[in-house]
Amino acid sequence: MENTFALEIMERLTSLFPNVSSELNSINNYTFLIAVLLSAQTKDQSVNAITEKLFKIASTPEQMLELGLDNLKSYIKTIGLYNNKAKNIIALSKLLVEQYNSEIPLDRKVLESLPGIGRKSANVVLNNICNAPYIAVDTHVARVSKRLGLTNNTNVIKIEQDLYKVIPSKYHNTASDLLVMHGRYTCTARKPNCSKCILNDICRFKSNL
Sequence-distant (≥ 6) Cβ neighbours of residue 145 within 8 angstroms: 137, 151, 159, 162, 163, 179
The CA angle 163-180-129, to the nearest 5 degrees, is 85
Q: Give the integer Cα–Cα distance in Å for 33 and 114.
A: 11
Q: Give the integer Cα–Cα distance in Å for 155 and 145.
A: 12
Q: Which of 138, 162, 170, 177 is catalytic?
A: 138
Number of other CB atoms surrounding residue 78 within 10 Å: 10
- The yes-or-no answer on residue 120 being catalytic is yes
Q: Which of 120, 158, 165, 170 is catalytic?
A: 120
How far, CA to CA in Å, does 112 sit from each of 9, 84, 108?
30, 17, 6
Query: For the chain, where are the alpha helices, taking DSSP H only?
Result: 3-16, 29-38, 44-57, 61-67, 69-76, 82-99, 108-112, 119-130, 139-148, 156-166, 175-185, 204-207
* Amino acid in the structure at residue 136: A
Q: Give the integer Cα–Cα distance in Å for 114 and 98.
A: 13
- The yes-or-no answer on residue 70 being catalytic is no
Q: Which residues does the annotation mark as catalytic?
A: 120, 138
